[in-house]
Amino acid sequence: MTIQTKNYSFVRNKLLNKEEIAFLDVREEDPHAQEHPLFAANLPLSRIEIDAYAKLPKNSVPIVTLDDGEGFAQLAAQRLANLGFTDVSVFEGGVKGWKAAGGEVFKDVNVPSKSFGEFVESKRHTPSLSAQEVKQLIDSKEDVVVVDVRRFDEYNTMSIPTGISVPGAELVLRLPELAPNPKTKVIVNCAGRTRSIIGTQSLINAGIPNKVNALRNGTIGWTLAGQELDKGQSRKFHEVSDDTKNEAAIRARNVADRAGVKRARLDDVQAWKAQSERTTYFFDTRTPEEYEAGHLPGFRSVPGGQLVQETEMVAPVRGARVVLVDPSGGGVRANMPASWLAQMAWDVYVLDEVHSSNLTEKGPWQSPLPDLPKLETVDAATVSNWLKSDSNTIAIDFSTHANYVKGHIPGSWYALRSELAEAMKKIPQADRYVITSSPSELSLFAAQELQALSDAEVLVLEGGNTAWTKAGLEIEKGPSHLASPPLDRYKRPYEGTNVDPAAMQAYLDWEFGLVEQLGKDGTHHFWVL
């Protein structure tokens, strides 16, 4: 099958004209994070069958795949064509070709959102305090509330002393009851800069009466100042009264209106789902717990703060339409993220007039998947017996490296699907390989490829690692038996509790340089209220 190529001017013109394009960097996350074009969203070759239908809801969207000469872009394009996508091309010359044509490249992950945060601060001079100034406020028992706008798991790992977990989109809804006295000072923090800038500016834009400051440089700044972080905290926001909710709803709607956010109704949703000429994403921006208790069919759970922080991870089609809904928070958690997406040049709508009777689906979001390969499977108990009694059986795990380290089948090997041929040179030869993963569907595609590389019997663990754990079988932790380098996850300099101060400072310096890079790139269309 012949796949066409596309060049720099094709991609750039699509971006400049705000036309739909899925510009996909199909390398693993770590090489992607080393350098990539601004709007090249990361969709690794390893996960294409698992993620494509969710991230690319329209099969005729123009797709251009990108690598750096490894051959992944061609493979990815062929897989996407096999999945039914009709307009798939490979970017000519890879990342080197982009640079040779004069294209700007960016480091790190979630760069559109992070550069937008810096752009906001440069235009609005979002107020901030240093780590030392915030510590002084806390130590002197001033009337101050610290709100941490990251995901709860990030907050739980490490947090500012006294900080309360209030993920970004919840701020305008929850803060009035966390700081009911307008004289209370409010400090907004994240790990670095982006989410605290956006959170602080959200409260200011919504007209919250309190004096609000970002913690300058977040937990990184706190650590670089030689100050201790708390670990394992679990303070969370609580439910608010109807009066608070109604007032927050008015504030958030006003901000969305000023940003040019459009309104939609349920009949629009039906029409857009049936539309073949336009990509539309449907996101429910409440907490995952609220979503699972009842949601609209076809809407994906993406809490609003993370949506603004990681937009390209769930919506890689630049130029697409985005529809947000918050049916139980008075629309606050849809209108505030929508106001930011509008300023990031997305065509964004908030769904109005949704009632609890419309929330007919329950449970977690299920990713749409293609037809799965039909392969021979085996149950967890049988695999456990084989591994204990038969040295000719080896388990290979294709989960993310982070999940593998958290717990895997004792003695199993970690491998990256995109590096499978190389991995098999390190994994001992055996008569039988049992393939597993989280999610379990991934192992079916990996096993299919392994069958083509080996004469051994290849079986798939039924239900993957989840089934192994549910069966109460022993798990092993740690990074043992790595047949592939852990390229699937770029280690963020603000993650975890043991980070080199030099790496933290380099990260901050990089963030400060993003506005200048945006200017050189020139394709972003960002603006600020």
- Rounded to a whole number of angstroms, the distance between the first and last alpha carbons of the chain is 48
> What are 329's two structure tokens?
């928070």
Say what the pLDDT of residue 496 is. 61
Q: Do domains 4-109 and 377-470 have the same CATH topology?
A: yes
Say what the pLDDT of residue 499 is. 67
Say what the pLDDT of residue 498 is. 67
What are the C-alpha distances in Å from 387 to residues 122, 390, 409, 433, 452? 58, 6, 9, 10, 23
Say what the pLDDT of residue 503 is. 81
- Which class in CATH covers the domain with range 262-356? alpha beta
Element (H, E) at 296: none
pLDDT band at 153 (very low <50, low <70, confident <90, very high): very high
Say what the pLDDT of residue 29 is. 97
Q: Are 435 and 409 spatial neighbours (Cβ–Cβ below 8 Å)?
A: no
Phi, psi of 297, rounded to the nearest 5 degrees: -60, 135
Section 278-300 average pLDDT:
97
Q: How many CB atoms lie within 10 A of CB 367?
A: 14
Say what the pLDDT of residue 522 is. 96
Q: How far apart are CA 510 and CA 504, in angstroms?
A: 10
pLDDT 10s digits, 180-223: 999 999 999 999 999 999 999 999 999 999 999 999 999 999 99
Tokens 């991609």 identify what position?
11
pLDDT higher than threshold 80 for residue 456 = yes
Half-sphere exposure of 455 (CA within 13 A, CB side): 0
Selection from 360, 365, 376 nearest residue 327 by Cα: 360
What are the C-alpha distances in Å from 83 to residues 48, 63, 79, 132? 9, 13, 6, 54
pLDDT higher than threshold 90 for residue 355 = yes
Say what the pLDDT of residue 449 is. 94
Domain range list for the chain: 4-109, 116-237, 262-356, 377-470
- Tell me the three state secondary structure of residue 157: helix
Section 452-473 average pLDDT:
95
Say what the pLDDT of residue 491 is. 82
- Pick among 3.40.50.1820, 3.20.20.140, 3.40.250.10, 3.50.50.60: CATH of 377-470: 3.40.250.10
pLDDT higher than threshold 70 for residue 527 = yes
Q: How far apart are CA 508 and CA 439, in angstroms?
A: 34
Say what the pLDDT of residue 209 is. 97
pLDDT higher than threshold 90 for residue 494 = no
Find out if CATH 3.40.250.10 is the number for domain 4-109.
yes
pLDDT band at 140 (very low <50, low <70, confident <90, very high): very high
pLDDT band at 390 (very low <50, low <70, confident <90, very high): confident
Q: How many CB atoms lie within 10 A of CB 470?
A: 10
Q: How far apart are CA 524 and CA 166, in angstroms?
A: 29
pLDDT band at 71 (very low <50, low <70, confident <90, very high): very high
Selection from 48, 13, 10, 6 nearest residue 316 by Cα: 48
Say what the pLDDT of residue 81 is. 97
Section 274-286 average pLDDT:
95
pLDDT higher than threshold 70 for residue 296 = yes
Section 129-135 average pLDDT:
97
Say what the pLDDT of residue 474 is. 94
pLDDT higher than threshold 70 for residue 367 = yes
The pTM for the full model equals 0.95
pLDDT band at 391 (very low <50, low <70, confident <90, very high): confident
- What does DSSP assign to residue 236? B
Instruction: Print burial letters for 87-99: b (CB count within 10 Å at least 16), e (below 16).
Output: bbbbbbbbbebbe
pLDDT higher than threshold 70 for residue 495 = no
> What are 110's two structure tokens?
């979630």
pLDDT band at 497 (very low <50, low <70, confident <90, very high): low
Instruction: Print burial letters for 110-143: b (CB count within 10 Å at least 16), e (below 16).
Output: bbbbbbbbbbbbbeeebebbebeebbebbeeeee
Q: How far apart are CA 417 and CA 402, in angstroms?
A: 15
pLDDT higher than threshold 70 for residue 250 = yes
- Which class in CATH covers the domain with range 116-237? alpha beta
